Amino acid sequence: MSSKSAVLVTGASTGIGAVYAERFAQRGHDLVLVARNTERLTALAQRLRSETGVQVDILTADLTNNDDVAAVEQRLREDTRIGVLINNAGTSIPGDFLSQSSEEIARLIALNVTAVTRLAHAIAPRLAAAGEGAIVNIASVVGLAPEMGLTVYGATKAFVLFLSQGLNVELAARGVYVQAVLPAATRTEIWQHSGKDVDAIPGVMEVDKLVDAALAGFDRREFVTIPPLHDEAQWNALNRRAPDDAARLCAVGTGAALPLPRLKRRYGLFPSPLVATFVSPCIKAVRRYQGETKAPCLTYRADTSPCFCCVRHSTHKRHSDEHHTFHPSLCGAGAGRLSAGLRKRLCCRR
C-alpha cells in the first residue's frame, strides 16, 4: 500500500475520470474508483494494479441515486486514507430548454450539482480537521457561456465553479486545496448524451492532454484551471490586432492546449465564447465573496492561473507588487495593455 493519500475518482470508468485514475496511480497513489459500469471499473482496476502496483478499490454507484450517493459519502467520511476527491462524474442532455423533459433536467442536476456538492461536503470536514487534502471539481467553460444554448448544463457547471470558489474561501486557511477545472470541447462520451457531433467541432481536446494540463494546475495549486487556452504565439498575435479584430479572432474557437505552466496568461483574451462571457459571471461571483461594500476587482497572479479575488483598495495596494489588476479605478497596472473595449468588459460595475 502506498504511503501517499488515496484518491477517490468519480466517473472513473472512462474518459477524464479514467485518465485521472491512471495519472494518480502512476504517481503512487492508491485509488477508489466510482462509476456505474462495474465491468469497466474492474478492467481498469486490474490494469492499474498490474502496471503500477497501487491498491485500487472499486465502488459501483449511480450518483443520481440517493442511496448510492450515501454509500460514497460514507466511504469519504470513514476512509481516512482518502485525501483527494476528484469530483468528475457528470452528464449532459440533448435539445434546448423547451424540448428537455423535467425528468431529464432533474437527473442532470442530481449528477452535476447535487452529487458534486454532497461528496465535497462529505469529505471536507475530515480534510479540514486534518489540515490537508484536496477537492478537484470538474466544471466547464460552458458555465461561462450562456449563448452556447446548453442552458441547464451550463447552469450546473456555473454552479460547480462558484461552489469551488466559495470552498476556497472557506477551506484554504484550513489547509484544504480546492481546484475548479474548466474544460472546453473534449473527446469524451458525454457527447453521446448531448446529441452533438464532436467531430464537427473545431479544436476538440484529447482527454490525456486535458488531464495533464489540469494536473499541471493541480501541482501549482491553481484555484481555477482552464486547460484549453491557446499558446503564447497566438496571444501575441491577438495583442497586435485592433480591438475589434482581436475580438473577432477570439471568436474562432479554442485550439489544442499546452500544459498551463507553458501558457502566457492574458486575462480577457480567452478564445470564444469566453471573451464576451467569461468576465461577467466572475464579477458577480467575487462580489459575493466577502460582502465588501467597495467594488471588487478581478486579478491574476503572474505565477499562477487566473484567480478571482474580492479585494478592498487597501488590500490591493498591499499586494500590487504581485498582482496585476484590470480595474482601472483601483490601479492602472496592466490595464493599459488592454484595448478600451476589453477594459470596459473587465471593469467591475458599482
Percent of the chain with pLDDT over 70: 59
Per-residue pLDDT at 271:
35
What's the whole-number mean pLDDT along residues 164-171? 96
Q: How confident is the model at residue 145 (pLDDT cuts 50, 70, 90)?
A: confident
At residue 318, the 3 state secondary structure works out as helix
Spot the catalytic one: 20, 153, 177, 300.
Answer: 153
Instruction: Show the domains of the chain with their CATH numbers.
Output: 6-232 (3.40.50.720), 281-346 (no CATH)
More confident residue, 343 or 202: 202
Tell me the pLDDT tens digit for each residue of 232-289.
Answer: 555 455 455 444 443 433 332 223 333 333 333 333 333 333 332 333 333 333 333 3
Q: Are strands 6-10 and 177-181 parallel, antiparallel or unpaired?
A: unpaired
Per-residue pLDDT at 229:
60
153 pLDDT above the threshold of 50: yes
Helices 66-78 and 116-130 pack at an angle, to 10 degrees, of 10
Q: How confident is the model at residue 210 (pLDDT cuts 50, 70, 90)?
A: confident
Per-residue pLDDT at 230:
52
Q: How confident is the model at residue 28 (pLDDT cuts 50, 70, 90)?
A: very high
SS3 string, 245-264, reads: HHHHHHCCCCCCCCCHHHCC
Question: In the annotation, is 153 catalytic?
Answer: yes
290 pLDDT above the threshold of 80: no
196 pLDDT above the threshold of 80: no
Whether 115 and 65 have beta carbons less than 8 Å apart is answered as: no
